[in-house]
Structure 1
């Protein structure tokens, strides 16, 4: 197994800081967000939020991108039908994330179901994973 692959599997492993996902208390706020944005949405479980870090502390991204991505081991529902139930998905960079379990990118709103994890990964590992997965499961 190459070092790159090992670092990728460490990045997406279900460990790190435990986080709560969407709850029934946040359902109306999530529904409003979905209606207001008009973006496709995807409900996922087995998720990991990954904060990109670099040795020099700078992760240059265009506005409004945040140095954070999401990897989900299990798609529950994708209303655009790009993904099927049971697929895994790696998001593009976040444009917003809130504690109600909503992770938003330029093109998709992800509803984080159940408990998940948050961790840091080196920017080079994240970018390598994005390049490798861009033809299969990477979405915006």
Structure 2
């Protein structure tokens, strides 16, 4: 990933996207009430990364029922399974579905995108450098 691209990602540049308006406490309660035992992760300072079309890998995602999008968040607020500490960063796996404002589902986790974030496109090589 070149320095300009990394700076764009870290500075939150991109299309502004509205996430969940609830407080962290209310969002956790909402998820527990509406999604039962679903693992969830509340995040702030997030970016929806949409993978640019790139051939076989791109098509393979669709064949598995996944969308070529993921979340990169600079600030974990709470993780229901204790995988991440408050203040950690996280990169999700690929999107299974996106519901309402700020509910981003992967195969194993519901990411609640708190507040405002951005949407950016990313190449596969840049994505792989975000580990």
TM over 0.5: yes
TM-score, normalised to structure 2, is 0.80
Q: 1:9 to 1:33 in 2, by over 3 A?
A: farther
Q: How many residues align?
A: 123
5+ residue gaps, structure 1, are 134-140
Per the alignment, residue 51 of structure 1 pairs with 50
User: Is the Cα–Cα contact under 8 Å of residues 11 and 50 in structure 1 kept in the other structure?
Assistant: no
Shift of 1:112: 0.4
5+ residue gaps, structure 2, are none
Q: CA RMSD in A?
A: 2.4
SS in 1 for 2:129: helix
TM-score, normalised to structure 1, is 0.75
Per the alignment, residue 12 of structure 2 pairs with 14
Distance between the aligned counterparts of 2:94 and 2:74, measured in 1?
17
Distance between the aligned counterparts of 1:98 and 1:48, measured in 2?
16
The runs of at least 4 consecutive aligned structure 1 residues that moved more than 2 Å come to 4-13, 27-34
